[in-house]
């Protein structure tokens, strides 16, 4: 897969307790992105945060079971991410979704041909 140098980053902010048909919402998002052959997706877990409700979510020792913040990042072309948004709308309740431009410097590494000399 070739990713354009001028790509987009979709960021989805949600809580780890958010669900989609009984499964974690972040899993549903990543699996749908993979199913649609997007370039890549990563889930980041935050130790602290708050959203529209202003309720503080934290990973302090006495509150380990709290609903910690998550960010799902998906990188691809604008067209592919725009096509992904209706799928996201169907599975997501509340949360924040942003879309911003990124400059792709490197994406993946092609393995050298078996008979090709290595670097150096």
Q: What averages of pLDDT result for each successive group of 10 residues across the chain (120 residues)? A: 88 94 96 96 87 64 69 97 97 92 86 56
Beta-carbon contacts of residue 107 (< 8 Å; ≥ 6 apart): 1, 2, 3, 39
pLDDT of residue 50: 73
pLDDT of residue 115: 60
Structural domain of 50: 10-102
- pLDDT, residue 117, reads 56
Output the domain CATH number for residue 73.
3.30.70.120
In Å, how far are 11, 24, 66, 86, 108 from 81, measured between CA atoms? 11, 21, 31, 10, 19
What pLDDT sits at residue 1?
Answer: 72
Asked, for residue 115, whether it belongs to a domain, the answer is no
Number of domains observed in the structure of the chain = 1
In this prediction, residue 61 carries a pLDDT of 55
Q: What pLDDT sits at residue 109?
A: 72
For the entire predicted model, the pTM comes to 0.80
Nearest to 88, CA basis, from 41, 47, 48 = 41
Structural domain contains residue 107: no
41 assigned to some structural domain: yes
Contact 68, 15 (CB under 8 A): yes
Task: With respect to residue 47, please indicate whether it lies within any of the assigned structural domains.
Answer: yes
**Contacts for 119 with CB less than 8 Å, ≥ 6 apart:** none
pLDDT score, position 55? 67
Provide the 10 A C-beta neighbour count for residue 102.
12
Domain annotation covers residue 1:
no
pLDDT for 106 equals 87
Report if residue 21 sits inside a domain. yes
């Amino acid at each position: 897969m070739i990713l354009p140098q001028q790509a987009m980053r979709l960021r989805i902010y949600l809580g780890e307790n958010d669900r989609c048909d009984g499964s974690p919402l972040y899993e549903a998002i990543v699996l749908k992105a993979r199913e649609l052959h997007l370039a890549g997706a990563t889930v980041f877990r935050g130790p602290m945060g708050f959203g529209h409700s202003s309720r503080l979510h934290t990973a302090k020792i006495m509150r380990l079971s709290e609903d910690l913040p998550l960010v799902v990042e998906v990188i691809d072309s604008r067209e592919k991410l725009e096509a992904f948004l209706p799928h996201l709308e169907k599975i997501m309740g509340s949360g924040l979704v942003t879309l911003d431009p990124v400059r792709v410097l490197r994406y993946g590494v092609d393995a050298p041909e078996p008979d090709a000399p290595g670097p150096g």
